[in-house]
């Protein structure tokens, strides 16, 4: 064995080198109507999710690819395999070196991403954020493609709960991790809306299961025991909501404790069908990806002016001075959930 090792080593080298020579042929160009741009002048766009390999960002990718083939854009949709901002920073610097025309990022940290986005701007690259925003001042990003204004998400979640429990009772929020910017902003909006419209709804201390579904289930189970009067629970991440629903189901409180929140239809479909989660809220991640690529193109062409306009199949999209807004959140229930594949 030892005698053969050098030969194995050389063979491995040969294999590795052999592999990549095969990849020198460029990837097939996405089909679509890129006719208005001469060949070789297609817009090169890099789109960076918080991480790859989860349902939510896979859906965003589908929409982005749809828009890219409509517009004849060379799209790279790539990201880190864990939600590490440091890897996002490195990838942005690599995309600057590759000479991308536009970069769209969903940052894991609004501050640490900022210097990298600034470097991209200084290199003359069009810079957008989507899904989550970066610090607008220090990053110099031009536009944030906002899936849904924070206040709309907050008030819709609260209204759903208030309607179901009759405007009074004990409730609790189950979030992701303590630092997640989206969730913290939504909770702030929820508290404000509760205080203003439903002072009789009592909010218990928020449960923080750190984006762990099993822990969300366990913490909810414990609370259901400790607070038999609990009227409703919000699970406000795609991971927390199924955990909450499983706990309520296990405790035999389906229909007695109202469960709602934010998640993906595919993740919670079973609970919607059996009545544990009668209604929940989300935007279409596919449309978010689709809109982001359209916005990147419009920005690169310097045609993104404040007002209202259509982007491909999305109609009447609102544009403010530094945001493109997808629209109000969508409410899913047992009647419409089968129409959605994500």
Partner 1 sequence: MNVALLRRVAREAFPWLLLAFAMWMVLARLPKISSLLPLWRPWAEIGVLALGMTAVILSGGIDLSVGSMVTLSGAVLGYLWQVTGLPLGVAASAAVLTGTVAGGLNGLAISWGMSPLVTTLASMALYSGLAMALLEQSRITGFPPAFLALGNGSFAGLPSQVVLLMTAAATLAVLVHATRFGRYLFSLGDQRKSAEFAGVPVPQVERALYALNGFLAGLVALWFTARRGAAVADAGQGLELQVIACVVLGGTRVTGGWGSIARTLLGLGILAHLEIGLRLWGNQTLTLPGLGWTIPLNANARLILIGLLVIVVALLNERLAPRQRDST
Closer of 23 and 341 to partner 1 (Cβ): 23
Closer of 17 and 226 to partner 1 (Cβ): 17
Compute CA distances 257 → 45, 144, 164, whole Å: 46, 37, 10
Residue environment code for 129-157, b if the CB has 16+ CB neighbours within 10 A, otherwise e: bbbbbbbbeebbbbbbbbbbbbebbbbbb
Tell me: does residue 12 bind partner 1 (CB under 8 A).
Answer: yes
Distance from C-alpha of 80 to C-alpha of 50, rounded to nearest angstrom: 7
Q: Which two tokens stand for residue 342?
A: 């994500």
Per-residue binding letters, 176-205, with partner 1 (x by CB under 8 A): --xx--------------------------
Q: Please give the residues from 105 up to 124 whose contact with partner 1 meets the rule CB under 8 A.
A: 109, 111-112, 114-115, 119
Closest distance of CB 304 from partner 1, Å: 25
The dihedral region occupied by 206, where left means phi > 0, alpha psi between -120 and 50, and beta the remainder, is: beta
Closer of 69 and 138 to partner 1 (Cβ): 138
CB-based contact 178:240 (threshold 8 Å): no
Q: Helix, strand, or coil here: 92?
A: helix
Q: Please give the residues from 63 up to 102 whose contact with partner 1 meets the rule CB under 8 A.
A: 75-81, 84, 86, 89-91, 93-94, 96-99
Tell me: does residue 270 bind partner 1 (CB under 8 A).
Answer: no
Distance from C-alpha of 149 to C-alpha of 216, rounded to nearest angstrom: 26
Distance from C-alpha of 261 to C-alpha of 243, rounded to nearest angstrom: 11
Closer of 87 and 337 to partner 1 (Cβ): 87
CA-CA-CA-CA torsion sign (301, 306, 307, 311)? positive
Closest distance of CB 119 from partner 1, Å: 8
Tell me: does residue 226 bind partner 1 (CB under 8 A).
Answer: no
Residue (of 210, 215, 205, 259) closest to 234 by Cα position: 259
Distance from C-alpha of 126 to C-alpha of 104, rounded to nearest angstrom: 8
Closest distance of CB 14 from partner 1, Å: 10
Q: Where are the alpha helices (DSSP H) in 198-335?
A: 213-226, 240-250, 265-273, 285-300
Tell me: does residue 10 bind partner 1 (CB under 8 A).
Answer: yes
Closest distance of CB 75 from partner 1, Å: 8
Tell me: does residue 29 bind partner 1 (CB under 8 A).
Answer: no
Tell me: does residue 19 bind partner 1 (CB under 8 A).
Answer: yes
Q: Using the rule CB under 8 A, which residue among 69, 138, 218, 254 binds partner 1?
A: 138
Closer of 17 and 39 to partner 1 (Cβ): 17
Per-residue binding letters, 284-323, with partner 1 (x by CB under 8 A): ----------------------------------------
Q: Phi, psi (5° rounding) for residue 207?
A: -90, 135
Q: Which stretch binds partner 1 (CB under 8 A): 17-25, 32-40, 268-276, 316-324?
A: 17-25
Tell me: does residue 18 bind partner 1 (CB under 8 A).
Answer: yes
Q: Which two tokens stand for residue 7?
A: 């030969």
Distance from C-alpha of 306 to C-alpha of 106, rounded to nearest angstrom: 22
Closer of 209 and 232 to partner 1 (Cβ): 209
Distance from C-alpha of 181 to C-alpha of 108, rounded to nearest angstrom: 9
Please work out the total of residues on this chain that contact partner 1, with binding judged by CB under 8 A: 52
- Binding site residues, partner 1, CB under 8 A: 1-3, 5-6, 9-10, 12-13, 16-27, 51-53, 75-81, 84, 86, 89-91, 93-94, 96-99, 109, 111-112, 114-115, 119, 135, 138, 178-179
């Amino acid at each position: 064995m030892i005698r053969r090792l050098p030969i194995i080593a050389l063979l491995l080298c040969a294999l590795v080198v052999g592999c990549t020579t095969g990849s020198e042929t460029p990837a097939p160009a996405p089909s679509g109507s890129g006719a208005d741009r001469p060949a070789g002048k297609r817009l090169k766009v890099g789109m960076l999710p918080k991480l790859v390999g989860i349902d939510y960002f896979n859906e965003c990718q589908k929409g982005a690819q749809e828009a890219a083939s409509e517009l004849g854009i060379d799209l790279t949709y790539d990201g880190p395999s864990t939600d590490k901002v440091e890897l996002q920073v490195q990838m942005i610097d690599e995309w600057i070196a590759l000479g991308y025309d536009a970069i769209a990022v969903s940052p894991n940290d609004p501050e640490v991403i900022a210097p990298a986005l600034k470097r991209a701007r200084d290199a003359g690259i069009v810079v957008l954020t989507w899904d989550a925003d970066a610090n607008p001042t220090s990053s110099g990003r031009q536009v944030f493609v906002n899936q849904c204004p924070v206040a709309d998400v907050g008030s819709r979640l609260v209204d759903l709960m208030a309607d179901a429990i009759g405007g009074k009772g004990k409730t609790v929020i189950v979030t992701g991790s303590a630092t997640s910017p989206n969730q913290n902003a939504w909770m702030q909006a929820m508290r404000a809306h509760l205080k203003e419209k439903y002072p009789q709804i009592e909010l218990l201390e928020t449960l923080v299961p750190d984006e762990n579904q099993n822990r969300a289930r366990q913490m909810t189970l414990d609370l259901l025991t400790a607070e038999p009067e609990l009227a409703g629970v919000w699970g406000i991440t795609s991971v927390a909501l199924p955990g909450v629903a499983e706990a309520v189901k296990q405790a035999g409180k389906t229909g007695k404790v109202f469960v709602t929140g934010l998640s993906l239809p595919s993740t919670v479909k079973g609970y919607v069908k059996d009545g544990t989660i009668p209604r929940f809220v989300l935007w279409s991640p596919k449309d978010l990806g689709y809109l982001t690529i359209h916005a990147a193109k419009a920005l690169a062409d310097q045609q993104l002016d404040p007002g209202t306009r259509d982007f491909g199949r999305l109609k009447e999209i609102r544009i403010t001075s530094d945001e493109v807004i997808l629209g109000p959140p969508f409410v899913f229930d047992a009647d419409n959930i089968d129409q959605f594949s994500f």
